[in-house]
Structure formats: structure tokens, C-alpha cells
Amino acid sequence: MPKPLQVSAKGGPGFVLTKQSRIVARGTDADEVGALMAAELRPATGFDLPVVSGRPTPRDVVLTIDPEAEFDEVEGNPEAYKIASTAKGVRVTGASRHGLFNGTQTLRQLLPAFAASPSRVNTTWTVPAVSILDAPRFSYRGLMLDVARSFLEVDEVKQVIDAAAAAKISVLHMHLADDQGWRIDITNSGRAAGDDIDYTALTRVSGATAVLGNPYQSADGHTGFYTQDDYRSLVRYAAEREIEIIPEIDIPGHTNAALAAIPQLNTAGSSHPATEDEPVAPHNGTIDVGYSYLDPTSEVTYTFIEHVFSQLAALTPSEFLHVGGDESHAMTQRYGHDGYVAFVERALAIVHGLSKKTIGWNEYAESGLAAGDGVQYWAGTTEHAKRAVIEDGAKLLVSPGNMSYLDMKYHPKTPIGLSWACSGDCDVAHYYDWSPQEVIAGVGDEHILGTEAPLWSETIRGVDQAEFMIFPRILAHGETGWTAESLRSPSDFAARLASVGPRLAAAGTNFYDGPQIAWSTELAGTDAALSVGSAGSVGSAGSAGSVGSAGSVGSAGSVSVGLLAAPGTKTDGTAVTVDEVDDADSTGGSSLTAPLTATVDFGDGSAPVPARFTASEPRDSLHAAGVYAVTAAHTYDSPGTYRGTITASDGSRARFTITVS
């Protein structure tokens, strides 16, 4: 996921990753990619997985960057990669660092689902014998986070980056300023002569504001801002995972947060002319749009724009800066369409003067775009976007609201989200069954920059809710941008997506585990070490615990012996069943055809006992079913190392080891 260009099963035994396995890195930067892959796999496997150079053994994974390697029909695509897996080793070759990184993400998907677990599990880490050749359709496969209306902390953004990188998303568009808040620190350093604006007020004042509770979400938005060091750290973190950050400061509209912080912007020609009683615009935390604008006739406006975008350009390695340009309704009413166009033309000249290309929402397409600029189509007339692409040499970024906006409710019962762009059934299938080249007639792949799925945050609070609305729909959108049109099939996608659910659950990524997908289940064992002498319960995967009273060994206690990922389900403790009750959280989807129960053989000759299931996060209206801990009560009569087995009613089995000292 996304579907590769070519996949060929070789037959025969696959490769097994073991504690003797190493990652052999060849080529400049291959060791960096190897270090990331090792860091991703160490927690679940417990293996050292050293990154080395030199001659590989049959137990090793070989990572190579080789621009001169043969990539057949995807020759010349810098994101191309190929994988060859046999019992004698795995070789991943990329045409570039990005290509190799893509290959390692596919390799992770070839391992069992619990490879994504943050804690150690007991399973056989098999990669099937397979050969893969792959490269993307578009280089731009984007996700947008609106951190302006409701803020996400640095670690929350990194959490989203990790999950997006696993899906081969290549761009994170960060909407940093809107009417409700301003999220990027702008300093006074480098102000032009005569500029007396205190730019630090942007975050001091409007970093402390956010969207307020509204008819669609009772909770207020989260406040905060990124220091420039915070932003740099996000840019670096994303770049290590081959994600490019593109920042957006929306102008001339959606600017009330700037007007609330900077008195000089509140001129007679702005949406808020200053008065003695109200020198700056009051905070507006509603979800209204189109009312605010900067003064297109004032030179201070352009001084402000040049200073802000100059600092943003210096902080951002991307060739693009996003300038917004959408929903400037009140400005257009006052100054006419020509006034809006003249403003945007002057703003674009400033950004182009910083050696950056621009991206803007499709309303800005009439404003003298340069070749290579991007037009992000979201709604409305396609006429001007098409002309900018065909005549001016701009590129189309495809984000049709009804097929791309991730803040739309999955169904009418979804407690957060909006429904203006998509209503009724807006689950994952809807976000897959469309074609980028059909959004604007006559604009084909050669004119398309890529695809992007925006998540607006009028109703989203925190990363948990953000992930719930993003996944699994970003996987559908991402495959639309990656996979050749001729290879895409909704039924095939649904079948492959089913196995991604346990991976998301194992990784701790929240998602909507709805009824459109027959989500797979996966079982793995967890080892434990028990000691004598103090009362208590046994620790979970890989941790030490103690059971029993003083002087006894292994007295009856609830022992965690495994983990079960089963999206779309609930449990009463004794069985895991598909959530078929259409209540507030709607129904779930699952491959289970009957309640799943299990027995535990503790490996000491005693009879197997029934297992119990405890959800790490019970399924509800805003959470997928979390991973279930598989536990059972048992008494060991003597110290030793015991190898036990979990046997589930669907035929799956998992092994575990308990050491009693």
C-alpha cells in the first residue's frame, strides 16, 4: 500500500529476519535509511540489527542506492526501487535516497503486522519470496494539516509524519495562519528601513488563540505556536523520512489573526479599520470565512508580506511557498475582482523574488502565475486553473473537496467533521474511486503536479482525532497519486487495505475501522519473565513482573502472553466479536465470521485454559479497536523456561516464552 507497479511471487521459502540479521548499507546515504529502518524494527523484534558495510550473509538485509541500476520501465524516476527477497537474503535497491526509503517502507509491509509494534513481540519475522519493481505516478503526494485553527504540538506532527511516511506520502502542507490563530514565530530580524512592525506579536497574541467551540465540536481548539527552531526540527524530521514540508500563510483573506496582532495592518482599507477603542481586530474564533482581508492599497501590507515570506523562505528548503488566496469574498466586494488580482500579482512577485515558486488555491489562478507554480484546485470553476496550466505553464495540484477533504464525516453519526463537501457515505471507498486526470477536462498527467488531501481543523482537536479522520482515507488518496491508473481497482484496494488495519493498530495509529473493509486479524505472542517473592501482576510484552506470595513460584496470576489486532471488533473479555451494533460508533468491519476465542497452553504439561481479552483502547465513535492483550491465569510449580502456545478459534496460533526464576 500503495500498490506497486510489479509484484511477482517467487514461490519457495521466504527470508526470515533473526537476531543474527544485519542491515548492510551500500551507497551514499544508504546508512541513514538503514538506521531509520533498524530503529523502526528494533522495538518489535528485539534484535540489534546493526547497520554495517561490507559483505552480506544470507541472514542480512542489503540496502543499496544505485542511480545506475536497471529499473526497466521506470528508468529515470528518482523514487524508483526494487526488492528481491529469497531465503538467502533481501536486497532493496533505490535509484536515490528517496527510492531506497520507499523500498524500506514496502519491506516493512512484507513483514508481519506487529513489526510496527512499539514493544517486543514473539513471532517469526518472515518476508515472502518476492520480487518488486515500483515507482510513483506523481512525485507530489500530499497531506495538509490545518494547525492554524487548532494547534498540533511538535511531537504530534511527528507522529503524523511517521504514519504518513509509511504510506509513502511525500509532502506535508502546513496551514500555519488563518483567522483563528498564527502558528509560526516571525522575528524582527532583518526588518526593512522604516518598518516598525513588531512581528513577535503574531505568536505572542495570535499564538494564544484558536477556533472556538461550534455547532460541530463543543471543545475549543488548541493554542500554541512553533518557534523557528521547532519548525526547523519538523523540516529535518520530515526530510529524513522523505517528506517535504510546504508552509502556507494565507493572504489576502483568512488574515484576522494577523490583524489582531499587528496594529499597523489595521488601516482604513483593511477589513478592520483601527479605532481608538479597537486599534486591532478582535479575535474571531468562529468558523466563518471570507470576512477578513489585508489592505491592498497600503504599502505596509506589502512590507509585512515581504518580511514574513522572507523569513519563511529562509526556513524552508522546499522550492514552494503556499500563499493561500482563497475565499477573499469581502475584499472582492470592496475592491472588485481586479483589485484582488492586482494584490495577488504583487504578492506573487514578492515570493518569486525570494527564488521560490508559489502554490495557491484555485481562486488565485488568474494572477499572473509563472511556469512551475502550482494551482491547488479544491472547488468552483475550473476555467482559470485550466488556463494557468495550459497557457502559463503552471502545474495542477489536485484536491477536489468532495474526494479529498479529510475533515468530512465518514457517516452522519461521526461526532466530528463537516459535511459540506461530502455527505452520507464518505468512507474510504469514496476517496479511492476517482481519477486525477478527470478533475479538469483536458488536464492530463503531464500538467499535474500531484494530489493532496487536506485536513481542516474546525472540528479536530489533537492528534488522536486528526489520525481518526486521516486514516484510512489518506491511504486511498495516496494510492491515487502513486499507482498507475490502469492498475487501480476498488475491490483490489479494499482487499489489500484489510491487512493494513492490524498494522495501524499495532503501531498505535488511530483510524476509522468501519464496515466497508473486512479488516484482517493478527495474533502474536509476548514473552514475560516472572520472579518469586512479591504479590503483583505479570508485566506485558518483554517486561519483567512478579506473581505469587512470598515463598511460592508462579502462584495464580493474570499473565499477558499475547497481543491480538482485530479492527472493527469489541470484546466482553472472553471473546472478540465484530461490532455489528449500529449505535453511536456505527458498525465495524472484520474478516471474522464467528466470535473469536482462544486457549492458552502454558507449556508445562497442564491443560490449556481459556484466554481473556483486554482492549488497550475500546472501539468507540472516535477510536478504532485497539490491540487486545491476551491473558490467562496460571500457576507454575517450579522455576524454568516454558514455551507456550495461544490457539485461537479461527485457527491462528502464536508462541510465547515465560521464564520463571
Cis peptide before 618, with omega less than 30 degrees from 0?
no
pLDDT at 189 over 70: yes
Confidence of residue 368 (pLDDT cuts 50, 70, 90): confident
pLDDT at 552 over 70: no
pLDDT at 546 over 70: no
pLDDT at 632: 94
Confidence of residue 532 (pLDDT cuts 50, 70, 90): low
For the chain, the distance separating the N- and C-terminal CA atoms, rounded to the nearest angstrom, is 44
Average pLDDT over residues 78-105: 97
DSSP secondary structure code for residue 302 in this structure: H
pLDDT at 660: 92
Average pLDDT over residues 458-476: 98
> What is the number of other CB atoms lying within 10 angstroms of the CB of residue 624?
27
pLDDT at 548 over 70: no
Integer Cα distance of 3 and 483 in angstroms: 6
DSSP secondary structure code for residue 551 in this structure: T
Integer Cα distance of 463 and 313 in angstroms: 27
pLDDT digits over 614-653, tens only?
999 999 999 999 999 999 998 888 899 999 999 999 999 9
Length of the chain: 661
Q: Which residues of 562-573 are buried (b: 16+ CB within 10 A; e: fewer)?
A: bbbbbbbbbbee
Helix (H, G, I), strand (E, B) or coil at 202: helix
Are the C-beta atoms of residues 174 and 246 closer than 8 Å to each other?
A: yes
Helix (H, G, I), strand (E, B) or coil at 375: strand
Average pLDDT over residues 163-168: 97
- Per the prediction, the chain carries an average pLDDT of 94
> What is the number of other CB atoms lying within 10 angstroms of the CB of residue 521?
25
10 Å CB burial of residue 600 (0-12, 13-18, 19+) is buried
pLDDT digits over 297-345, tens only?
999 999 999 999 999 999 999 999 999 999 999 999 999 999 999 999 9
Are the C-beta atoms of residues 40 and 117 closer than 8 Å to each other?
A: no
pLDDT at 205 over 90: yes
pTM of the entire predicted model: 0.95
Integer Cα distance of 39 and 148 in angstroms: 32
pLDDT at 542: 34
The contacts of residue 213 (CB under 8 Å, 6+ apart) are 219, 220
Grid coordinates belonging to 590: 472484520
Q: What is the dihedral of CA 233, 235, 239, 242, to 10 degrees?
A: 130
Task: For 67-147, list the strands marked E by DSSP.
Answer: 81-86, 89-94, 125-127, 130-134, 140-146
Q: What is the dihedral of CA 336, 173, 75, 356, to 10 degrees?
A: 60
Grid coordinates belonging to 610: 481459556
Phi first, then psi: give them for residue 175, nearest 5 degrees: -85, 100
pLDDT at 557: 63
pLDDT digits over 208-222, tens only?
999 999 999 999 999
Grid coordinates belonging to 132: 518488486
pLDDT at 479 over 60: yes
Q: Which residues of 35-74 are buried (b: 16+ CB within 10 A; e: fewer)?
A: bbbbebbebbbbbebebeeeebeebbbbbbbbeebebeeb
pLDDT digits over 416-459, tens only?
999 999 999 999 999 999 999 999 999 999 999 999 999 999 99
CA atoms within 13 A on the CB side of 383: 2
pLDDT at 556: 44
Report the run of H or E that residue 656 belongs to, with start and end: strand 653-660
Question: 545, 535, 430: which is closest to 493 by C-alpha?
Answer: 430
pLDDT at 71: 95
